[in-house]
Amino acid sequence: MNITRSKILLTLMLIMNLISCKGQQIYPLLTSIDNVPNMAHLKDTNNELQSFVGTYTSIYNGNHITLYISKENDKFFDYGNQKIYMDILYIRYTVKDSYNNILQTTQNATFQSDQLNTIFSHWITENGNKVSLNYTGTNCSVGWGDIYLKKLNSTQISWEYRPDDITTTAAKCPPTLDTTIYLPETKDLIFTKQ
């Protein structure tokens, strides 16, 4: 009799937990964050991000640039009043000079949206051919801005980088820090998948 009461009590507690739990609120990646509730998940349900994943290379002004593009699922973003989880593209990169010396690399970095030299997606077009990314900038946020990738075909993407702030002052940033922007500041640079 005691075992039966325990089973009934356990079953009731389980049912109460299920009723009180909200289901995970999942929305397609193309949904505006203005149209989703707090703590929602924007998922790549239509696989729009996958075609950008891979290692791509290009040469710009004598520098060799390698992009390592990966898809990261359920990354947390805190936009103040709005907190969401989102599937993103995360770009790590290496820039080498013509002598093969590394000028800058984030190849072994792990994703943190507020870390220097971080590139991650925040928007993709309806047809999945163009993605807009946020670049956090280098030291003292120099170079922060937007990067746009456009899928040209199965092996090539076009790069456009629009920095919002390319200079700083000694009052804002110690002169001992490297504030060089090593990413190619250009439009229509072609990267080829390796």
Pairing assessment for the beta strands 83-96 and 41-43 based on DSSP bridges: parallel
Mean pLDDT, the chain, as a whole number? 88
Report yes or no: 186 and 161 within 8 Å, Cβ to Cβ: yes
Report yes or no: 93 and 183 within 8 Å, Cβ to Cβ: yes
pTM, two decimal places? 0.83
Can you list the pairs that 112-117 forms with residues at least 24 positions away whose Cβ atoms lie under 8 Å? 113/75, 113/77
Q: Mean pLDDT over residues 103-116, rounded?
A: 91
Q: What is the pLDDT of residues 116-131, one digit of tens each?
A: 999 999 888 878 899 9
Question: What confidence category does residue 171 fall into, taking pLDDT thresholds of 50, 70 and 90?
Answer: confident
Q: What is the pLDDT of residues 5-38, one digit of tens each?
A: 666 655 655 554 444 445 569 999 888 888 899 9
